[in-house]
């Protein structure tokens, strides 16, 4: 009798030196984020788009979009990027409605702890420099809550490139095409965001990192 093949778990595949591209990130339920959901809904309705149209443009399920808009689900970064591209919106506008029209000679200062929070099940983001729109990078600090690859529904992947530097604690960086690597305080990594990736904390306390992503305003 023919055996039915079973798909290996994310933990099993990531343990190999080269991990097959099998997974795509989804949305993880988290704390309510009504403000973000309302802004997404307002951006969609202002452009006269239906949930079905945004779903077709972004590739995010209509039911998921509805839950996010109603504050019942907090989107992971890659999903949020898909949605903002689907509604032709600068992702930074979701976190701060102030805009600076001048594209030259700009500066932004974010005091410690004053970034815009965006919690998810795996990471607690603090988005920085939210008063500047049309940026080519998105900087943020993140507290790494995840302790295992089992905490993720699948690989995280999106457009652009990323730089990550550890501020406190120890993290392990899992990527599709490379062996997992452990980073201590002061260590950093740079990688292609389209390559599946996931970061977990190895510390007793949540590790903290500074994270920079490209491909934000340029894609919206």
Least confident piece of the model among 44-48, 104-108, 117-121: 104-108
Rg over CA atoms, the chain = 18
The pLDDT of residue 215 is: 66
- For residue 32, what pLDDT is reported? 42
The full set of domain ranges for the chain reads 22-94, 116-219
pLDDT at 26 exceeding the cut of 60: no
Q: Residue 112: what pLDDT?
A: 93
How do residues 110-126 score in pLDDT, each as one tens digit?
999 999 998 888 999 99
pLDDT band, residue 19 (cuts 50/70/90): very low
Contact 157, 195 (CB under 8 A): yes
CA-based torsion, 193, 5, 13, 31: positive or negative: positive
| Highest mean pLDDT (candidates 85-89, 92-96, 98-102) | 85-89
**pLDDT higher at 181 or 44:** 181
Long-range contacts, 57-62 (Cβ 8 Å, 24+): 57/85, 57/86, 57/87, 58/82, 58/83, 58/85, 58/86, 58/87, 59/86, 60/27, 60/86
pLDDT attached to residue 150 = 93
Among 1.10.1040.10, 3.30.70.1450, 1.10.260.40, 3.40.50.740, what is the CATH number of 22-94?
1.10.260.40
User: Can you tell me whether residue 213 is helix, strand or coil?
Assistant: strand
Q: How much of the chain exceeds pLDDT 90, in percent?
A: 40
Report the CATH fold assignment for 116-219: Jelly Rolls (2.60.120)
CA angle (26, 30, 34) in 5-degree steps: 105
Q: Are 126 and 116 in contact (CB under 8 A)?
A: yes
Instruction: Give the chain's mean pLDDT.
Output: 80
Instruction: Write down the pLDDT at residue 95.
Output: 64
- Please, which residues have CB within 8 angstroms of residue 216's CB and are 6 or more apart in sequence? 81, 90, 91, 92, 135, 136, 137, 138, 160
Mean pLDDT across the stretch 2-11? 49
pTM over 0.95: no
């Amino acid at each position: 009798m023919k055996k039915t093949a079973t798909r290996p778990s994310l933990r099993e595949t990531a343990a190999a030196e080269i991990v097959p591209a099998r997974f795509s990130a989804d949305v993880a339920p988290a704390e309510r984020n009504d403000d973000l959901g309302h802004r997404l809904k307002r951006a969609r309705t202002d452009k006269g788009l239906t949930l079905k149209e945004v779903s077709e443009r972004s590739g995010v399920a209509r039911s998921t979009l509805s839950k996010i808009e109603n504050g019942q689900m907090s989107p992971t970064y890659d999903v949020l990027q898909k949605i903002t591209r689907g509604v032709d919106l600068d992702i930074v506008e979701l976190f701060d409605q102030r805009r600076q029209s001048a594209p030259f000679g700009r500066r932004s200062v974010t005091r410690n702890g004053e970034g815009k929070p965006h919690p998810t099940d795996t990471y607690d983001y603090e988005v920085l420099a939210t008063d500047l729109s049309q940026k080519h990078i998105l900087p943020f600090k993140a507290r790494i809550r995840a302790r295992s690859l089992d905490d993720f529904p699948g690989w995280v992947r999106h457009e652009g490139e990323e730089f990550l530097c550890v501020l406190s604690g120890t993290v392990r960086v899992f990527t599709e095409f490379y062996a997992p690597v452990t980073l201590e305080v002061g260590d950093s990594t740079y990688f292609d965001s389209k390559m599946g990736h996931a970061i977990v904390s190895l510390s007793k306390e949540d590790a903290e990192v500074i994270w920079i992503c490209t491909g934000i305003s340029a894609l919206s």
